[in-house]
Amino acid sequence: MTEDIYVHFSDEIPRSIRSCVCRGPGWYDIHISTKLTIEEQRKAYYHELKHIENGDLENDCCVSDAEWSMK
C-alpha cells in the first residue's frame, strides 16, 4: 500500500519539540515548528522521515527509544 505524507508547519509547536509525526490509515502527518530556521526545518523533516522509514510508528516503543535508535 502506498502511504501519503503530508507536511504541516505550525507556530503552536514548542521550539523544544521541533517536529513530530503522526500516522493514520494510509497516511502520515509531519508537523514542523515555524519557530525553527529553514535549515532546522529541513533537518526536522528528514528526521521525521527516518522515523517513518524505520517503522517507529508501527512499533510499541516509546519516543525516547525511537530517538535513541536513530543516534
Q: What domain range includes position 29? A: 4-69
Question: Domain total for the chain?
Answer: 1
C-alpha cell at 34: 515555524
Instruction: Quickly list DSSP for 23-65.
Output: EETTEEEEEEETTS-HHHHHHHHHHHHHHHHHTTTTS---HHH
pLDDT tier at 68, thresholds 50, 70, 90? very low
pTM over 0.85: no
pLDDT tier at 14, thresholds 50, 70, 90? confident
57 CB-near residues (< 8 Å, 6+ apart): 21, 22, 23, 28, 51
pLDDT tier at 1, thresholds 50, 70, 90? very low
pLDDT on residue 8: 97
Largest CA distance in the chain: 34
